[in-house]
Amino acid sequence: MTIQDIKLRFGIIGSSPALERDIDIAMQVAPTDLSVLITGESGTGKEVFPQIIHQLSARKHGPYIAVNCGAIPEGTIDSELFGHEKGSFTGAHEARKGYFEGVNGGSIFLDEVAEMPIATQARLLRVLESGEFMKVGSSKVLKTDVRIIAATNVNIQQAIEKGKFREDLYYRLNTVPILVPPLRDRKQDIHLLFRKFATDFAAKYRMPVVKLDPEAEGLLTDYYWQGNVRQLKNITEQISVIEKAREINASTLLKYLPQHSASTLPMVIKGDGQGADFSERDILYKVLFDMKKDLTDLKKVVLGLVDNNPGQNRGFEPENEQIIKKIYQEIGGEHTPIRLDYAQPPSHKTKQHQPVAVEPQTHVLVEEPSLSLHEVEQEMIKKALIKHEGKRKNAAQELGISERTLYRKLHEYGLDGPEK
Q: At what angle do helices 392-399 and 403-412 cross, to 10 degrees?
A: 100
**Once rounded to an integer, what is the mean pLDDT over residues 335-348?**
47
Specify whether the CB–CB gap between 46 and 58 falls below 8 A: no
pTM of the model: 0.63
Query: How far is 139 from 411, CA to CA, in rounded Å?
Result: 67
* pLDDT score for 107: 97
- What confidence tier does 63 reach under pLDDT thresholds 50, 70, 90? very high
- In the chain, the percentage of residues whose pLDDT exceeds 70 is 73
Fold entry, domain 3-181 = Rossmann fold (3.40.50)
Query: How far is 23 from 146, CA to CA, in rounded Å?
Result: 22
Radius of gyration of the chain, Cα coordinates, nearest whole angstrom: 33
Strand partners, 341: 315
- What confidence tier does 306 reach under pLDDT thresholds 50, 70, 90? low
- What confidence tier does 231 reach under pLDDT thresholds 50, 70, 90? very high
Please report, for the chain, how many H helices and E strands are present, in that order: 17, 13
* pLDDT score for 261: 43
Residue 274 CB burial class (10 angstroms; 0-12, 13-18, ≥19): exposed
- In the chain, the percentage of residues whose pLDDT exceeds 90 is 57
**Once rounded to an integer, what is the mean pLDDT over residues 46-54?**
97
- What confidence tier does 332 reach under pLDDT thresholds 50, 70, 90? low
User: Class for domain 373-412, per CATH?
Assistant: mainly alpha
Tens-place pLDDT, residues 291-305:
776 777 676 666 666
**Once rounded to an integer, what is the mean pLDDT over residues 11-30?**
96
Specify whether the CB–CB gap between 243 and 202 falls below 8 A: no
Average pLDDT of the chain?
81
* pLDDT score for 406: 81
Q: What is the CATH number of domain 184-254?
A: 1.10.8.60
Domain range annotation of the chain: 3-181, 184-254, 280-342, 373-412
**Would you say residue 350 has pLDDT above 70?**
no
DSSP code at position 339: -
> 83: which residues sit within 8 A by CB, 6+ positions away?
95, 96, 97, 98, 100, 101, 135, 136
**Would you say residue 346 has pLDDT above 70?**
no
**Once rounded to an integer, what is the mean pLDDT over residues 44-53?**
96
Tens-place pLDDT, residues 120-145:
999 999 999 999 999 999 999 999 99
356-363: which pairs have CB atoms within 8 A and are 24 or more residues apart?
A: 360/306, 360/308, 360/336, 361/336, 361/337, 362/336, 363/308
Helix or strand holding residue 132 (H, E): strand 132-134
Specify whether the CB–CB gap between 411 and 405 falls below 8 A: no
Tens-place pLDDT, residues 356-380:
444 444 444 444 455 566 777 788 8
Tens-place pLDDT, residues 380-419:
888 888 888 788 888 888 888 888 788 888 877 777 665 5
**Would you say residue 354 has pLDDT above 60?**
no
